[in-house]
Amino acid sequence: MTKCVRRVRAAGVGHDGNVIPTEPIGSIPRPPELIAAVARNGGKSDDPSLEPLYIDAIRDTIVRFEATGSPVISDGEQRKYHNFWDYCVHGLENMAPDGFKIPFAAGHTRRMPRLTHAPFRYKEHADHYLDVAQRFAKRPLKQAVISPSALSLLYPPGGIPGYSREQFIEDLLTEHVGEVRRCIEKGAHAVQVDFTEGRLAVKLDPTGALLASFIDLNNLALARFTSEERKKIGVHTCPGGDRDSTHSADADYTELLPSLLQLNLTNYYVSLAGEPDRRRVLKVIRDHLKPGQRIFAGVVAPIDPRVETAEEVRDRILEAAEYIPVDQLGTTDDCGFSPFSDDDSTTREKTFAKITARVRGTALASAILGI
């Protein structure tokens, strides 16, 4: 550690009077009782009889989250059944189950729905989750939403008669922008746009055309916000996480990051702890980082079964500070701990232990860096 601290200080890291900010990504494993109840109900997650279990899960998640000391928390996405990707359209009658397929390294797949006919509308909006969480939370809440680029994959390649892709995109942007703006208006500390498909795009299309189209679409959405609103908006990227596996960790991260930093927003939540060569990633971030952008570097890895120590987290932050100015640095988790609601590969206890390590390690690093 001493050698690392010496290099950071030699780089001229200054004092800005603040602790390094730290935030979660969002999802927390659901209580086993809730998972079992939904399974017994044939997967019908919107049955009114499940409401007491959802409320208990949200309340318990917030209590445990606040006990970690995390200055910013989430509701753990307890109501996002059945996943973070299609929570807003799940259960609509114009969605078929045979949409875009996502293969994971462990051998299993997840599948998006497919839009069958117009119009495209959300069934659920994330600001409704915020409404409920605010009843229990004493600390600032962030709210995660899915990106327009992910939802663009709902539109079938062959098109829909009488419903052009252009009209679909306009309807999609209207829904997304309204959802994000209401979260901000209702007092969300930050709104995080989940962009896990960014790295997947690098894997699926090495030419970069798919990634470029995703960046352009998300920037179209961001252009509809004011500069003040964009200060509250961030984007999260990771190689996907499900059942201790990923969908795109084998894709070259450095092919994504320069494009990611072209998104017109303030906060970037970047998975890093699970990378085999963190310094290579940090160098690319350093070379493309712009003034006013903040990198929340991942310092704990949800799919690693071992709980990191606060000292390990501290050292990862000091490493990141060699490349990222401290006034542009934050910390986070690499990914959500359970983006898909039936994933019980990580326990709630282990999840909150990892979050506690992030919080304590961030405090240790802040003290060493003199901020």
- Residue 236 has phi, psi (to 5 degrees) of -115, 130
Radius of gyration (C-alpha) of the chain in whole angstroms: 20
Q: Which residue has the higher pLDDT, 227 or 250?
A: 227
* pLDDT recorded at residue 241: 67
What is the rounded average pLDDT for all residues in the chain? 90
* pLDDT recorded at residue 33: 94
* pLDDT recorded at residue 14: 34
- Structural domains of the chain, ranges and CATH numbers in brackets: 2-369 (3.20.20.210)
pLDDT higher than threshold 50 for residue 185: yes
Q: What is the pLDDT of residues 116-131, one digit of tens each?
A: 999 999 999 999 999 9
Please tell me whether residue 100 adopts helix, strand or coil conformation: coil
* pLDDT recorded at residue 203: 87
CB of 205 closer than 8 Å to CB of 67:
no
Instruction: Report DSSP state, residue 242.
Output: B
* pLDDT recorded at residue 9: 39
* pLDDT recorded at residue 47: 84
- Residue 201 has phi, psi (to 5 degrees) of -65, -35
**DSSP per-residue string spanning 179-214:** HHHHHHHTT-SEEEEE-THHHHHHHH-TTSHHHHHH
Q: Which two tokens stand for residue 253?
A: 């991260």
Q: What is the pLDDT of residues 276-327, one digit of tens each?
A: 999 999 999 999 999 999 999 999 999 899 999 999 999 999 999 999 999 9
Q: Which two tokens stand for residue 254?
A: 């450095």
pTM of structure: 0.92
pLDDT higher than threshold 60 for residue 360: yes
* pLDDT recorded at residue 247: 67
- Which of 92-96, 202-206, 284-288 comes out lowest in average pLDDT? 202-206
Tokens 């999802």 belong to residue: 27
**Closest residue by Cα to residue 182 from 138, 124, 118:** 124
Q: What is the pLDDT of residues 149-171, one digit of tens each?
A: 999 999 999 999 999 999 999 99
pLDDT higher than threshold 70 for residue 2: no
Alpha-helix runs per DSSP H in 186-305: 197-204, 209-222, 227-230, 257-260, 278-288
* pLDDT recorded at residue 29: 94
CB of 193 closer than 8 Å to CB of 235:
yes
pLDDT higher than threshold 80 for residue 173: yes
Q: What is the pLDDT of residues 36-93, one digit of tens each?
A: 898 888 777 788 899 999 999 999 999 999 999 999 999 999 998 768 889 999 999 9
Tokens 């990633």 belong to residue: 281
User: Residue 13's pLDDT band (boundaries 50, 70, 90)?
Assistant: very low
